[in-house]
Amino acid sequence: MADSASNLVVETHKLTKIYQNRQIALNDVTLSIEPGCVLGLLGPNGAGKTTLLRLILGLHRPTAGWVKVCGKKMGPNAAALRRKIGYIPTNPQFPPGMTPIVYLDFMAKLFGLPAQVRKPRLASLIRAVGLLEVSGDPIAGFSNGMTARLAVATSLINEPELLIWDEPTHGLDPEARRSMLELIKNLSKDKTLIVSSHNLSDIDEVCNHAAVLSRGHLIYFGSLQDLKGRMRRNHYELDLEGDQKAITKAASVIKSLPEFKMVNIRQRRLELRLNEDVSNSSVLANVFMTLADNKVNLVSIRSVGQQTEQAFLDLVEKEESRGFARAYAASEE
């Protein structure tokens, strides 16, 4: 993904973090993020996502390796560098007695913004995140969606070059989630973002690159399109048209084919799950021929499972089985 090192927004090299000399939270992670990248950070619980974000933010010190942000080494004392980043933690908390205007003004002062810069920026941000009508209300009465929008405004107050948002749609209702995803899409036109999420359909919708962590290892880093290209395509649903007896007869012929792990017929819908390592095109060709032989028409066919989710699950499954294989091999020695 890297063109020239000087142009990178984030660069990590062999980044490793070990807690209390025993828990390896992150192991030898090297990646580079160019301007305009919207990176989806994926991984099961405990994979090292939050540790990676905290190291990029300079909130933790690496055990080994390094992080650079905008070409400069990040560390606990790099306050000026941290000003280039807008951060939203999971479940952001705000002083309940403050109003959005008071809180954002306070944060802008902490960044050292003079009044003539602060005031118009506050007004435009509050309008942009849709909090104008409640800008003078105490934060204590805010819904999850309103709190999330205030977090967005806070992360943008210093006009950062990089946004790091940890689970930004967590706990939001469908309407608030939709509005958050639209915000990310708009911001991605001129910002670089790292978005960590458990919701793979969110990543699918707003990100163009993905980094997948498993047990502290970076097991995939590249375009979202390439990640989906690695997906096992072995689960299909076919909608059929024709005589029910003919459909049942065709299904029984398909069930007898050795390439299938599962064949399930529900009225006029046929669900197929292929065995691993079989060519889906040749197997599906046999299915189509069987349907034609029985005078059954195919109305539609689709690959089951949300694509990013399936590709992610496949990757983690393969990595974990390799890990078990390595552990087993080590115990044999």
Taking only the tens of pLDDT, the chain with its 333 residues reads 444 456 899 999 999 999 988 888 999 999 999 999 999 999 888 889 999 999 999 999 999 999 999 999 998 888 889 989 999 998 899 999 999 999 999 999 998 899 999 999 999 999 989 899 999 999 999 999 999 999 999 999 999 999 999 999 988 888 889 989 999 999 898 899 999 987 888 888 899 999 999 889 998 999 988 887 666 667 888 999 999 999 999 999 999 988 888 899 988 899 988 887 777 788 889 999 999 999 999 999 887 765 676 677 777 777 767 654 444 444 444
Question: Which DSSP state fits 141?
Answer: G
The Cα 13–Cα 189 span in angstroms is 27
Enumerate the H helices of the chain as residue ranges.
49-57, 79-82, 100-110, 115-128, 144-156, 174-187, 200-206, 224-229, 244-255, 280-293, 307-332
Question: Which DSSP state fits 215?
Answer: T
Q: What's the CATH architecture for 5-229?
A: 3-Layer(aba) Sandwich (3.40)
Q: Tell me the residue type at 177.
A: R
**Nearest of 238, 205, 225, 235 to residue 305 by alpha carbon:** 235
The Cα 203–Cα 210 span in angstroms is 8
The Cα 300–Cα 269 span in angstroms is 10
For the domain made up of 232-333, give the CATH fold.
Alpha-Beta Plaits (3.30.70)
Digit-coded pLDDT (tens) for 281-329: 888 899 999 999 999 999 998 877 656 766 777 777 777 676 544 444 4
Q: Tell me the residue type at 175.
A: E
Phi, psi of 103 (to 5 degrees): -65, -45
The Cα 288–Cα 292 span in angstroms is 6
**Nearest of 238, 243, 239 to residue 296 by alpha carbon:** 243
With beta carbons less than 8 A apart as the criterion, state whether 194 and 54 touch.
Answer: no
The Cα 180–Cα 160 span in angstroms is 18
With beta carbons less than 8 A apart as the criterion, state whether 47 and 220 touch.
Answer: no
| Sequence-separated (6 or more) residues with CB below 8 Å from residue 147 | 92, 94, 139
CATH 3.40.50.300 residue ranges in the chain? Answer: 5-229
The Cα 41–Cα 105 span in angstroms is 31
Digit-coded pLDDT (tens) for 119-139: 999 999 999 898 999 999 999
Dihedral, CA of residue 115, residue 116, residue 118 and residue 120, to nearest 10:
140
CATH 3.30.70.100 residue ranges in the chain? Answer: 232-333
The Cα 137–Cα 304 span in angstroms is 46
Reduce the DSSP state of residue 269 to 3 states and report it: strand
Look up residue 65 and give its two tokens: 């390796």
Reduce the DSSP state of residue 5 to 3 states and report it: helix
The Cα 95–Cα 23 span in angstroms is 34
Which burial class, exposed, middle or buried, applies to 97 when counting CB atoms under 10 A from its CB (0-12, 13-18, 19+)? exposed
